[in-house]
Amino acid sequence: MTLFGPRNLLQSVSALETHDLPDCWQIVLSTQDAQSQLAQIRTKLQADLDRGEQIFPSDPWYALRKTPLQQTRVVILGQDPYHGPDQAHGLAFSVQDTVAPPSLRNILKEITRSHPHIDEPVISHDLSHWAQQGVLLLNATLTVAQGRAASHAEYGWQTLTDYLIAATAQQPVPIVYLLWGRHAQSKRTLIEQTTQAQGLPATSRLILDANHPSPLSANRPPHPFIGCNHFVLSNHWLQAQAQKTIDWFATPS
């Protein structure tokens, strides 16, 4: 924490403006329904800021900035941002130069476990290097109050992020969806129905389920996260679809 508080504080609701997002995402968020929902979220966040609440992250749209819609090849869905200081920075499960939270530690553990041929792999806690390759790291709720997990779950964010998820399912290119935990898995129907409505073959999507990487569930049946092999299976499938694979060991540029 700095002298002036956490570095990742939301300073103003102006951070929710969409005019400087990639055009592809601006279009998704430009509908009357999306803009009305966003206005309601701004009102709630402004009231929180006026009361002196600390809200994370500073840039709720960071995932969209890093991964344009047309470049998305893998979608990883989280629930809401980390609620500790200097952690959440707008990418699901990612932190910057701080200690990895437990869920992220299990994600890195599973990648390392599933790539035994790589000696002493080093994976950054900042997953921007995935986002730059087309991995959309999207939380269902894009803001959170300090120290209160899921505190903004009823603010209306999920309506907007469902639009974003549906937009990925409308794309004609092959896309992998990694759904970890019940909340993420509840989006399967949205993905499948949107794909079908676009007249796209179901085979253009790979949807993989596993428990959430949280220590509370990562090793539990019926679908333990540790041992799920999702990172290997994603690349095998992308390669079979003549798509570029993901370098899970890359470093942010």
Q: Which sequence positions are flagged as catalytic? A: 80
Rounded distance, CA 148 to CA 48, Å? 13
SS3 211: coil
What is the SS3 assignment for 234? Answer: helix
Residue 12's alpha-carbon distances to 42, 43, 54, in angstroms, are: 9, 11, 11
CB distance 90 to 60 below 8 Å: yes
The alpha carbons of the chain give a radius of gyration, in whole angstroms, of 18
- Neighbour tally for 96: CB within 10 Å: 17
Q: What distance in Å separates the CA atoms of residue 250 and residue 135, rounded to the nearest whole number?
A: 13
Q: Is the alpha carbon torsion for 84, 89, 91, 96 positive or negative?
A: negative
